[in-house]
Amino acid sequence: MNAVASADAGSRLILRAGLQAADVMTPNPLSLRDVATVKEAVAFLIDNGISAAPVIDRAGRPVGVLSRSDLVVHEREKVEHVAPAPQYYDRSDLRTAVGERLPEGFQVENTDQSRVSDLMTPVVFSVTPHTPVSKVVEQMVDLKVHRLFVVDANGVLVGVISALDLLRHLAPG
């Protein structure tokens, strides 16, 4: 047996007994509104260095989850029909809706108008703050998910528990 295998066999990591979801969760998670655009969602995930975020409605209740994987699937499945380009542009055609002339070098961006609610995973797996961590782990494994959301008695999002949050609470045992 090599040194790595023998070292791993002799050490164990455990979650301390009595921990509840509130003890391991990240409180007040960053979230996206269901009406955000795809462009806003991409910027949000990248700027915050996160791989997914809960999607909330106006009342703050989670209605889904948007992950980078959801964005990749959306991009792959999106069909974009480009309008035929005119044979030429007359400079007088290049004006804003209010008639203002466009500056030299001006370009028009074709942005995806899809909303987060159109491409999110519309399922929210959640627990309460008092759920034992053993049940949290069991649910994550059974559901094959990377995170569970923590909601209060009114269904309002108060935290998130990711696999990384659980790893942070492992201790030698």
- Domain-embedded: residue 41: yes
pLDDT, tens digit, 9 for 90 and up, residues 156-170: 889 999 999 999 999
Q: Tell me the HSE value of 14 on the side-chain side, using a 13 A CA sphere.
A: 8
Question: At 90, which helix (H) or strand (E)?
Answer: none
Count: domains in the chain? 1
What pLDDT score does 10 carry? 62
pLDDT at 5: 46
- Contact call for residues 125 and 150 (beta carbons, < 8 A): no
The reply to whether 6 falls in a domain is no
- Give CA–CA dist 7/164, Å, rounded: 23
Q: Is 152 contained in some domain?
A: yes
Domain that holds residue 58: 13-172
108 lies in some domain: yes
- Hey, what's the torsion of the CAs at 127, 132, 133, 138, to 10 degrees? -70
Residue 62 lies in a domain: yes
| Contact between residue 54 and residue 157 where contact means Cβ atoms under 8 Å apart | yes
Q: Answer yes or no: is 36 within a domain.
A: yes
Q: 61-72, pLDDT tens digit by residue?
A: 889 999 999 999
In a domain, 2, yes or no: no
**So what's the pLDDT on residue 11?**
81
Looking at the domain assignment, is residue 7 inside a domain? no
What average pLDDT does range 97-102 have in this prediction?
71
Residues 122-151: tens digit of each pLDDT: 998 999 999 999 999 999 999 999 999 999
Q: Report the pLDDT value the prediction gives residue 27, as an integer from 0 to 100.
A: 95
Gap between the Cα atoms of 158 and 54, Å rounded: 11
Higher-confidence residue of 111 and 113: namely 113
Residue 135 sits in a domain whose CATH number is: 3.10.580.10
Task: Please state, rounded to an integer, the average pLDDT across all residues of the chain.
Answer: 84
Whole-structure pTM value:
0.72
